[in-house]
Amino acid sequence: MTATEQAQGTAYYGEQEAEGRVIDTVIQHSFTIHLWEDRTRGELWVPAYDRMALALLNDDYLRIAGNNAVDTGRRTFEFQAVKEGRHRLVFEKRMGWKFTAEDRRVFVIRVAGRP
């Protein structure tokens, strides 16, 4: 697990697969993903996922920078597992003036039926 990604609640951030970082959780339980964002540069993390399998509960931004000219902080996404199985969650770092993603983070969410 990197410094920008943390586990909370029942989610477990395990091994790295070829497709992406693995998060193990249980159906109806929530998990969070933290990503750093520099809004001064126009960065914005945009999630792409199956809305029938995962529900976005919260999307929060905590400004960390200490002056008025810089807007850097930690973006926190909280999801709830709604459907059993293996699901893909992709975050793309978008810039307002670009058509392509600046960066990409891929997570594989493995959802068990019972704890």
pLDDT (tens digit, 9 = 90+) per residue, 28-81? 999 999 999 988 888 899 999 999 999 999 999 998 876 777 888 999 999 999
Q: E-strand spans in 1-115?
A: 12-16, 21-26, 30-38, 43-48, 54-63, 72-81, 85-95, 103-112
The residue-averaged pLDDT of 87-115 equals 89
Domain boundaries, the chain: 12-112
* 15: confidence class by pLDDT, cuts 50, 70, 90: low
Which tokens go with 10?
């029942």
Question: What pLDDT shows up at residue 3?
Answer: 30
- CATH no., domain 12-112: 2.60.40.2020
* Mean model confidence pLDDT for the chain: 84
